[in-house]
Chain A
Amino acid sequence: MADETIDIAAGLGDGAADLELVDRAVRGDRNAFESLVVEHQDRVFDFCFRMLGDREEASDIAQDVFLSVHRHLREFRRDAKLTTWLFRISRNHCLNRIKHLARRGRGRTESISDIDESRLDGSLGSAPPPDQALAQAAERKQVQDAIARLDDDQRALVALRDIEGLSYEEIAEISELPLGTVKSRLHRAREKLAELLGGLEP
């Protein structure tokens, strides 16, 4: 897990490159802001999708996240990582949206199983045979459905740790929770997932 976390972090572009883009964007360089969006859009979108379970909602909220970033770019503290800040904004927007949707009684309109293979981040040049693809899609749906059944805080923790690969320290900063609380809540979330997914196995 530690190695995977390092690999994921390295793939994002280093913090110094992000800070340079932030500085240029603050000075009004729209290309720099666009580069920031392109660099981080997939992670933010994926996180929002895991939280909201709906592609359209995820797109709306992820856009709101970047607009919020654009509005508050001058307030970004240079001693923090940009990804930490991005995920904190994303988490807050998603939690607010979930509360809003719950008040309106709106359900989710699209599950991961409705997304065709070409929209997933994978190797497009080596599509599996149809029966294997169906089995993989079914498993993805099971996992996403199980994640959706976690409570909101637990869902965010699972998404940040086990999908985005962030460290516990970063997650504590994002969620503004003590480190011990993050670990114990994540453990309970994983236990619940084990119960939900374990019950589906033959």
Chain B
Amino acid sequence: MSAELSHGEARSLFPALVDRELGEPDEVRLRAHLEICDDCRTGWTRYERAVEKVRSLERVRAPKTFASQVLLRSRRRRGLRAIARAEADYRLPTEIIIPVLIAALVALVIFLAL
């Protein structure tokens, strides 16, 4: 890059400048160009302001119940997977396994109540 920057070269340095990753020699050259070039200076001002506005956005927080919803859904999926595994292991369809499980549960409740 020559000592004096072209418009294209100047604009190509905007990302590094806005990220504060531009080396000092390049920054000096860029700022010198921005001093004398109205178009590039306007372009830089808009570029920098836009990036700063995005960076200053406040983070939107997850709902308070978010973690519990995730855990609930993961438990439900585990239950469905267990039924699917029982279906595969015992070669019995879900339509038989679920009523059998419910009947066993009811029998247990009655037994415990007696």
Contacts and interface: CB of A to CB of B under 8 A. Distances in A.
A98 interface: no
Interface in B45-72: 46-47, 49-51, 53-55, 57-63, 66-67, 69-71
Given A63-B69, A163-B54, A120 B20 contact: no
A195 B77 CA distance: 46
B55 A37 contact: no
Given A62-B66, A67-B74, A67-B77, A139 B15 contact: no
Interface string A29-48: 01001100110011111100
Contact of B21 (A1, A34, A41, A158): A1
Contacts of A43: 59
A59 B57 contact: no
A1 B20 contact: yes
B19 interface: yes
A122 interface: yes
B24 to A, nearest CB: 15
B43 interface: yes
Contacts of B53: 139, 143, 197
A93 interface: no
B54 A162 contact: yes
B18 A190 contact: yes
Contacts of B14: 187, 190
Given A37-B66, A191-B47, A120 B58 contact: yes
A197 B59 contact: no
Interface residues of B, number: 30
Nearest to A195: B46
B58 A143 contact: no
A63 B70 contact: yes
B62 A197 contact: no
A115 interface: yes
A194 B74 CA distance: 42
Contacts of A140: 57-58
Contacts of A121: 58-61
Contacts of A102: none
B73 interface: yes
A2 interface: yes
B73 A143 contact: no
A67 B63 contact: no
Given A197-B46, A197-B50, A197-B53, A59 B62 contact: yes
Contacts of B74: 33, 66-67, 70
Contacts of A46: 59-61
Given A33-B74, A63-B66, A140-B57, 10 more contacts: A2-B19, A37-B70, A43-B59, A115-B60, A120-B58, A143-B53, A143-B54, A143-B57, A190-B14, A194-B49
7 contacts: A67-B73, A119-B61, A122-B58, A163-B59, A195-B46, A197-B49, A198-B50
